[in-house]
Amino acid sequence: MSMNMPAEYQEQRIEYVPKVEVTLEQAVDNLKKLDQIRRRIMRQGVDYDVIQGTPKPTLLKPGAERLLQFFGLGHRVQLIDKKEDWDNGFFYYQYKVTIVKQYPGYEITVAECEGSANSKEKRYRNQDVFTIVNTLQKMAIKRALVGATLQATGTSGMFTQDLEDIDLQGQQVSNQQNTYADASDTISQKQAKRMFAIAEGNEELVRGILDKYGYGHSADVKKIDYEKICSEIEKAKLEMFMGDPTDDKNNEAV
């Protein structure tokens, strides 16, 4: 027990039993609103991007800032550690981003995450490190911001943390191509299994989307169509969980 605690509480054991604080209807409604924000407002290539070989879109810095705005949250940035060796050309920065909810007279901390960047990273090795010091600082902050935002908004099921081949503006900096050189290549067995994993074993859902693309079997799927199919499977799974939005409109009209 903390020694700063009042004496009358020193001998008490306080146990916390986690419990759901929202109703099922509120949870479903929140998921619907999140999905609407992602599909109708957030922009691919600006707020998020889809990278080949990843199961979920990658959240970018503008998208993280937009999500915080939608949730009415603010954030604070704090430098945790830095190493600046101007003689040998090595620079390292570590920042912490704290997501806060402000109320009149006080605020609460919702989430925290730390991020770092250094001049030895692969993307910076062939650059003049003395000209990218500010870039390193911004990258460390961005990594912390995206991680903290995913925690605070509960959107890690929709987006993933930033990848090695995404820079501050969301542009790819690696030599990886967005499309495959040979469009006739078919996916691997591991990639086929991933489609069913996304659908959580719902074979009927996967088969329906494969039929839409003209494939009779998962092994026939071409790599050029793979990510689009995975995205549709994920979208269909989410819609099944939340229910058909047209049902709500029909109910309102009754």
**In the chain, where the domains are located:** 23-172, 182-246
pLDDT of residue 64: 92
Buried-exposed string 214-248: b where 16+ CB fall within 10 A, e elsewhere? ebeebeebbbebbbebbbbbbebbbeeebeeeeee
Structure confidence at residue 99 (pLDDT): 94
Backbone angles phi, psi at 90, to 5 degrees: -120, 130
The answer on pLDDT for 9 being more than 80 is no
What is the average per-residue pLDDT within 170-184? 41
d(CA 99, CA 75): 4
Read off the pTM. Answer: 0.59
Residues 27-68: pLDDT tens digits? 788 888 888 888 888 888 888 887 766 667 888 899 999 999
Higher pLDDT among residues 79 and 197, named by residue: 79
Q: Is the pLDDT of residue 134 over 90?
A: yes
Chain-wide mean pLDDT for the chain? 78
Stronger pLDDT, 52 or 144, i.e. the higher one = 144
Q: Which of 13-27, 85-99, 196-210, 217-231 has the lowest mean pLDDT?
A: 13-27
Tell whether the model's pLDDT for residue 182 goes beyond 80. Answer: no
- Long-range contacts of residues 164-169, Cβ cutoff 8 Å, at least 24 apart: 164/122, 164/123, 165/51, 166/49, 166/51, 166/58, 166/60, 167/123, 167/139, 168/61, 168/135, 168/138, 168/139, 168/142, 169/60
Please tell me the predicted confidence (pLDDT) of residue 226.
Answer: 84
Report the 3 state secondary structure along 46-102.
CCEECCCCCCCCEECHHHHHHHHHHCCCEEEEEEEEEEEECCCCEEEEEEEEEEEEE
Instruction: Considering only residues 223 and 136, tell me which one the structure prediction assigns the higher pLDDT.
Output: 136
Q: Mind listing the pLDDT tens digit for each residue in 63-121?
A: 999 999 998 999 999 999 999 999 999 999 999 999 999 889 888 999 999 999 999 98
Q: Residues of the chain with pLDDT > 70: what percent?
A: 74
The three-point CA angle 15-21-24 to 5° equals 140
pLDDT at 235 over 90: no
Query: Which two structure tokens, joined as six digits, stand for 197?
Result: 């994993």
Q: How many residues does the chain have?
A: 254
Q: Average of pLDDT values for 203-207?
A: 89
